[in-house]
Structure 1
């Protein structure tokens, strides 16, 4: 499909109708892209993007400028459980709420991944929007400023924030407070054949229309009511916790928001083709990967509170009788895939790599070069390790520090604070000091 730029909708947005100039607003705004060829190669190696999809890196454009047939995706989303082709649940979610990928900040993708993982790995059910709407709500992320009249217009990127619904019985998760500049990880994808290996809505640059955002089935959806009762019984009878859900899709090496041959409850071993790779991760690596995408106090020597379902740990007969959809969605085992000799998606300490804008280290292997699906236009990656560390220093000793927005960076980084020392009884600034290394992000 030829992409719709959506410029007409943007021109008629509430920001321009109010006559307020938002050209100086940086929070949640398009700022170009810093994705590199090495990162595109990693997406292919880790099977986040199939070979039937071509990728194109942005050049100097600030906001996306698409060619016919292209879609916009974000590297920060791929790091949090998204993959191509997108899962049927993710596509239905986007269509129902009339959303675009750029409307969802990085943490929203993480919450969707956690929900899909619980439904597949602990309920043995495909995720559906009715149950999602019972657990989560959507709210708009608006441009802030006293000089901007109400109603304040939505930000350009990250305008849809997903949060736990008030009184929700679902598990609580915390995304990264420092998930900033995720919108600077966009690039273009396009199908190279007749098959749709992307499964995303046609691109539209405009802001969301808030279609169906107030939808909440409450207690009118029968299956969701059964899921809530079943989940509460699990919490009462077992030690299941939110960390179980996070480490399920990390340790299983699976992408919850990617279309797969079967559910996580039917996964069967290292040769399962729905995995990124059949090579296992150590417990320590699972924790380190979890800390890259969320806030968690998961210990290095963690144990399962409740083991997720699989072909060797199937759902109980009671669950199958209560949820008829389990049997209806069941599929036979797929043909095994050959095992990798080298892990395509290992945990690598951030000091060995360039640091991404989203606090996530990404493998930085040599470019494929001859890969016909990737164009070799390359944009330098601008690491911001120093800025993040200085923000941490600036926040020390301050009470009631406002948390970072889920949608994007603040308007300006905090000013540098020079160190001081006493020389000859006088306090002087010491400008040339050795910068400390930033530790790996933790919960």
Structure 2
């Protein structure tokens, strides 16, 4: 049996999860969800796809939004390979675009903010949740307050009904548990200069939303908003969220949640503790039918390429030897009592920038780990070797210029 098959086990969905999904309207249609019986490996019925409870409660429903369809296509991944926190990143981004920027989810803007990384620990790499969406380290974006870990989410899998438009073969591609996760150029692809220029006003608006005194918008506020209005951001919808019409809106899946259920759900998918207040509203009024877009507001449509558009250059797979030389992801999980790892866990060493990064790291750590007066280390591992014995770091199998994921990555595992 392949290693990735061993990650799957019999699904264990609690009554509490079932009740929450019912309240969220996720089971309103009789055939919307099917639950596995005795199988320990997914075998979805015809026209069904594999998903997870923790994906659905973070804004995923079928049929999926074209933005998500294109994202999966360009990145060359399947839904089950994204962590719950990555799903929430996409939900927040779509809500941000439609409700607070007044534009459809913009692919060029997405590329300015996000990149993908492989989800791994020292002892394992994952296929289920094997990819994480991260905020680029040079971007000032909302603090979403992800939980450090989403416990047990891989065990709560189910089948969702795949609904396709007549013009496309599949809305969600069929489940393939044997498909390997392969790094592609698109994972790191940046916006072009033309795209940066076209989205500069949107980036400025995001900065304004974050920093206007007394009206600061937060990631938790955005999350609470889409949960409160009962619209799934990642579902294909008849109308954008800036036309949201309240209780009678056609996109709503259910009636309002009780204040208790809403608070419980928000705390579940964030790291708010019992002392942190749950936002009851947004400090910035979202666009809706009651707060319409200004006249002549630019739409700035920019979707990622879709499967029916054919292959795109960004999909090219990065050769393994090239991965090792550039930016292969490696997630250091919970380094304990290790000052070197603690200090370096927020550094990002990447491609041509590696020497500058190592130089800065050397200077910053000189008081803790004085380096011998020799040639400056040219890689992360060389720096680690110079600072502390290699065996202590357990990096025997790590690539020479390993990339350490920073605080903007979402573990979700």
Please indicate, yes or no, whether the TM-score normalized by the shorter chain is above 0.5. Answer: yes
Structure with a larger share of its residues in helix: 2
Report the count of equivalent residues.
Answer: 305
In the other structure, the counterpart of 1:202 is 174
Q: Where do 1:387-402 residues align within 5 Å?
A: none
- C-alpha displacement of 1:68: 3.9
- Consecutive unaligned residues of structure 1, counting only runs of 5 or more, are 1-9, 12-21, 146-152, 327-394, 409-443
**Cα distance in 2 between the residues matched to 1:260 and 1:216:** 28
Match of 1:141 among 119, 135, 142: 119
- C-alpha displacement of 1:51: 2.8
Match of 1:217 among 165, 181, 191: 191
- C-alpha displacement of 1:107: 1.1
- C-alpha displacement of 1:82: 0.9
**Cα distance in 1 between the residues matched to 2:280 and 2:92:** 18
Q: Where do 1:293-304 residues align within 5 Å?
A: 293-296=269-272, 298-300=276-278, 302=280, 304=282
Match of 2:125 among 146, 154, 159: 154
Matched, 1:267 2:230: no
Matched, 1:168 2:135: no
Q: Where do 1:14-413 residues align within 5 Å?
A: 29-35=7-13, 43=21, 46-48=24-26, 51=29, 53-142=31-120, 144-145=122-123, 154-191=125-162, 199-205=171-177, 206-211=179-184, 212-217=186-191, 219-221=193-195, 222-237=197-212, 239-242=215-218, 243-279=220-256, 281-282=258-259, 286-296=262-272, 298-300=276-278, 302=280, 304-317=282-295, 320-321=296-297, 323-325=298-300, 406-408=411-413
Q: TM-score, normalised by structure 2?
A: 0.64
In the other structure, the counterpart of 2:316 is none
Call closer, same or farther: CA 1:53–1:125 in 2, change over 3 Å: farther
Contact 1:52 1:192 in 2 (8 A): no
Deviations 1:381-405 (A, max 9, x none): xxxxxxxxxxxxxx9xx978999x9
- Consecutive unaligned residues of structure 2, counting only runs of 5 or more, are 302-333, 343-406
**Cα distance in 2 between the residues matched to 1:46 and 1:70:** 20
**Cα distance in 2 between the residues matched to 1:285 and 1:66:** 30
Call closer, same or farther: CA 1:40–1:133 in 2, change over 3 Å: same
**Cα distance in 1 between the residues matched to 2:62 and 2:152:** 22
- C-alpha displacement of 1:182: 0.9
**Cα distance in 2 between the residues matched to 1:33 and 1:302:** 34
